[in-house]
Amino acid sequence: MLRPDRIEQARAEAFGPAAPLRGSVRVPGDKSISHRALMLSAMASGTSRIEGLLEGSDVLATAAALRAMGAGIERGSDGAWVVDGVGTGSLLQPESALDMGNSGTSARLLMGLLASHPISATITGDASLSRRPMERVMGPLRRIGAEFSASPGGRLPLTMRGISPAAPLEHRMTVASAQVKSAILLAGLNIAGVTRVFEPVPTRDHSERMLKRFGADLRVEQEAGGEWISIRGEAELRAQNVRVPADPSSAAFLAVAALVVPGSELRIKGVGMNPRRTGLFTLLRAMGADIDFADARDQDGEPVADLVVRHSALKGVEVPPELIPSMIDEFPIFFVAAAFADGETRAEGLGELRVKESDRIAVMAEGLRAIGGRIEEHGDGVTIRGSGGEPLAGGAGIASHLDHRIAMSFAVAGLNCREAVEVDDMEPVSTSFPGFAELLLSLQEGGR
């Protein structure tokens, strides 16, 4: 159910036939890396500086929670963020509930961090976050001695009591989730001894990369069927300067917009190219997309490059299952690309999409059908029959269900429809991509 204040704030917007998108552009900082940069800076001793932090409401929820537990976090006049860390194990008891808004990453990673501190906290979130499963993190964290009292179905709001000293944990992942892996590693920071996670399916490794950068003793060992990641606590983290790459998950919306709107050519600068995040670009290229990675370089432990994307005729594709984790957030916009491709696109094994900010399989299927796309759901898979590059009908209203990526996906779809598509609420886009709609408009030659 929507809360009354959310209904008042809902901001409907229409997206219609577009002129070519052209130019050189930067998208906001990576959401996953921004959360981690704040959390590790808050746990370090000394003052860290973060450039390019995503100033979206998800990341600001993490900042507010860390401030409520003692970290000093301010935005400097030059736009960089300055964090005075409390030192490992020194988070303070928050005085009131920690509101995580729409952000699953804030909720789950902070639950991990808190679990090995002797403090209690109540964690709340918006209607979307309050529908999402938390047992996947509570289960392993109970085994280090943390206690949880959650709402029915293991959901928010919940109250937790952390523990210190906590017992080191050895955990085998049962769901491919970087949030669960990261929650355990963050708990391990303040647990004496070695905390270990076994990951059969590789997921984004920003936590591992950044923990090493901040000086943690973290090891990754390959084993048949996956990898063990171990962290030795109690870790002493040292303050760092971090430059956050542009978010590939945000770049994805502009890239697909350029691919489907005839005559477009965009350069998207400084985009994170971590191989565990770039599945969408790999797949689009296999579909015939003209995407170049220019000026590839390393930036503070993460690979980045400029993406050069030109309008392309796309062909339908079978999604290789091993690519799914590296494009897990990109399926809504991938479905839009497939809806304009020539021929059939099929994907299976997408169950995790049902527990994101919305049920992204059902919500995308409903929305694509409403604008004239052809999509069938089968179990946790979909088949999409593309338009062969022809515009779709459009002319429909889309319910975005408090999901930023649904809202942005249909904004992009509208650019290649005969009649405008109205997205019921663009407000959630501010969680990850403030200024998205304005940017989309400014990239169209001559505007609308």
The residues carrying an active-site annotation are: 329
- Measured from the CB atom, the residue of 284 and 327 that comes closer to ligand S3P is 327
Determine the size of the site formed for ligand S3P (CB under 6 A): 10
> Which CB atom, from 186 or from 284, has the smaller least distance to ligand S3P?
186
Partners of 232 in beta bridges: 194, 217
32 binds ligand S3P (CB under 6 A): yes
First to last CA, the chain: 35
Q: How far is CA 400 from CA 340, 366, 403, 425, 429, in A?
A: 20, 10, 6, 7, 10
> Does 178 engage in binding with ligand S3P (CB under 6 A)?
yes
Instruction: Indicate the residue among 182 and 278 with the shorter CB distance to ligand S3P.
Output: 182
Which member of 88, 102, 179, 278 binds ligand S3P (CB under 6 A)?
179
| Of the candidate residues 106, 128, 182, 416, the single one contacting ligand S3P (CB under 6 A) | 182
Which of 120/282 has CB closer to ligand S3P?
A: 282
Measure the CA–CA gap between 115 and 163, rounded to whole angstroms: 6
d(CA 193, CA 96): 32
CB-wise, 199 or 306, nearer to ligand S3P? Answer: 199
Sheet (strand 193-199) strand order: 170-172, 193-199, 226-233, 217-223
Q: How far is the CB of 328 from ligand S3P (least distance, A)?
A: 5
Query: Applying CB under 6 A, does 177 fall inside the site for ligand S3P?
Result: yes
The reply to whether 62 sits near ligand S3P by the rule CB under 6 A is: no
Instruction: Identify residue 313 by its one-letter amino acid code.
Output: A
Tokens of 156: 């928010």
- CA 288 distance to own-chain centroid: 26
Out of 205, 329, 330, 403, which residue is the one contacting ligand S3P (CB under 6 A)? 329
Phi, psi torsion values for 446, nearest 5 degrees: 80, -10
Q: Which stretch binds ligand S3P (CB under 6 A): 44-52, 80-88, 171-179, 257-265?
A: 171-179
Smallest distance from ligand S3P to CB 430, Å: 15
Query: Which is it for strands 217-223 and 226-233: parallel, antiparallel or unpaired?
Result: antiparallel
Contact letters (x/-) for ligand S3P, 79-118, by CB under 6 A? Answer: --------------------------x-------------
274 is a site residue for ligand S3P (CB under 6 A): no
Q: Nearest Cα to 302, choosing from 266, 248, 253?
A: 248
In the complex, what is the shortest distance from the CB of residue 109 to ligand S3P, in angstroms, rounded to a whole number?
Answer: 7
Which stretch of DSSP H or E encloses residue 333? helix 331-339
> Would you say 304 and 270 are in contact if contact means Cβ atoms under 8 Å apart?
yes
Binding site for ligand S3P (CB under 6 A): 32, 105, 177-179, 182, 204, 328-329, 352
